[in-house]
Amino acid sequence: MGVTLNVKECDRMRILVVEDDHLLNHTLCYNLNAARYTVDSALTKQEAKDFLTKQDYDLIVLDVNLPDGNGFDFCREAKERCPDTAVIFLTANDMESDMLKGYELGAEDYVTKPFSIHILLKKIAVILKRETENPRNIYEDGYLRIDFDRVKVEIEGKECMVTPTEFRMLRLFIEHAGQLLSYNVLLEQLWDCDEAYVDRHTLAVNVNRLRGKIEDAEHKYISNVYGLSLIHI
């Protein structure tokens, strides 16, 4: 018996635009879509929070002043959920104290209105290029998120507690996405020792327990095939 992991292909870089000015919001989204980014649009802080509960973003273009709150608070919440999301603040206020506050919250840039769309697009391209050249050791698909650097697993934004053995299994599965893995291979890789230390039944129990933690009716990652494990992440 074995296991297979189903891994989805990565989408285009995903950007969330949070701007209450309808015309500016539309203009930003139009140009970002034209630049082949995947874009979501929010006019309020609440709309942005709703998007954030469903999807992680590579970058957020964020107005400081929103009708139902401020961008600084939303940035803090976004960074708590996904620390590696880049943020560019937009504001009509060029006060140094506000700029410093934005940078202290982890923003990549602070752009004062009015601004050139072309220059903003270039800033975004540079930031995202830096992200791709220094990739994060993270797997995420909108439902399951595995941060290998922080040894953390999340399901729909909520932490999922896994054992050290289960986390090692996840790492191995990600490294062999779409492949068939025999239990012999799993035993050798996970325990790095002779099979006599852990029998196949114990391994099967670990695989099934992991599936119970990360899968539901709509999200299937691991398939058991006779003699093999098929990984579908």
Peptide bond into 135 cis (omega under 30): no
* Residues 217, 126: Cα–Cα separation, whole Å: 39
The residue segments making up the domain with residue 75 are 14-133
Q: Are residues 101 and 28 both part of a single domain?
A: yes
Q: CB-based contacts of 53: which residues, under 8 Å, 6+ apart? A: 156, 157
> Tokens in use for 141?
């698909």
* Residues 20, 43: Cα–Cα separation, whole Å: 4
Q: Are residues 81 and 181 both part of a single domain?
A: no
Q: Are residues 214 and 127 both part of a single domain?
A: no
Full pLDDT tens readout for the chain, 233 residues: 455 555 443 457 899 999 999 999 999 999 999 999 999 999 999 999 999 988 889 999 999 999 999 999 999 999 888 878 999 999 888 788 888 888 888 899 999 999 999 999 999 999 988 877 655 678 888 889 898 877 889 998 888 999 888 888 888 888 888 777 777 778 777 765 444 456 778 888 888 899 999 999 888 888 876 655 555 55
Q: Kindly state whether residue 26 falls inside one of the protein's structural domains.
A: yes
Number of structural domains, the chain?
A: 2
* Residues 33, 166: Cα–Cα separation, whole Å: 39
Q: Are residues 96 and 44 both part of a single domain?
A: yes
Q: Are residues 173 and 91 both part of a single domain?
A: no
Q: Are residues 111 and 21 both part of a single domain?
A: yes
Q: Are residues 43 and 125 both part of a single domain?
A: yes
State the CATH number of the domain containing residue 212: 1.10.10.10
Contact 148, 130 (CB under 8 A): no
* Residues 221, 216: Cα–Cα separation, whole Å: 10
116-144: per-residue pLDDT in tens? Answer: 999 999 999 999 888 776 556 788 888 89
* Residues 23, 109: Cα–Cα separation, whole Å: 22
* Residues 120, 63: Cα–Cα separation, whole Å: 13
Contact 19, 67 (CB under 8 A): no
Q: Are residues 31 and 94 both part of a single domain?
A: yes
Q: Are residues 127 and 166 both part of a single domain?
A: no
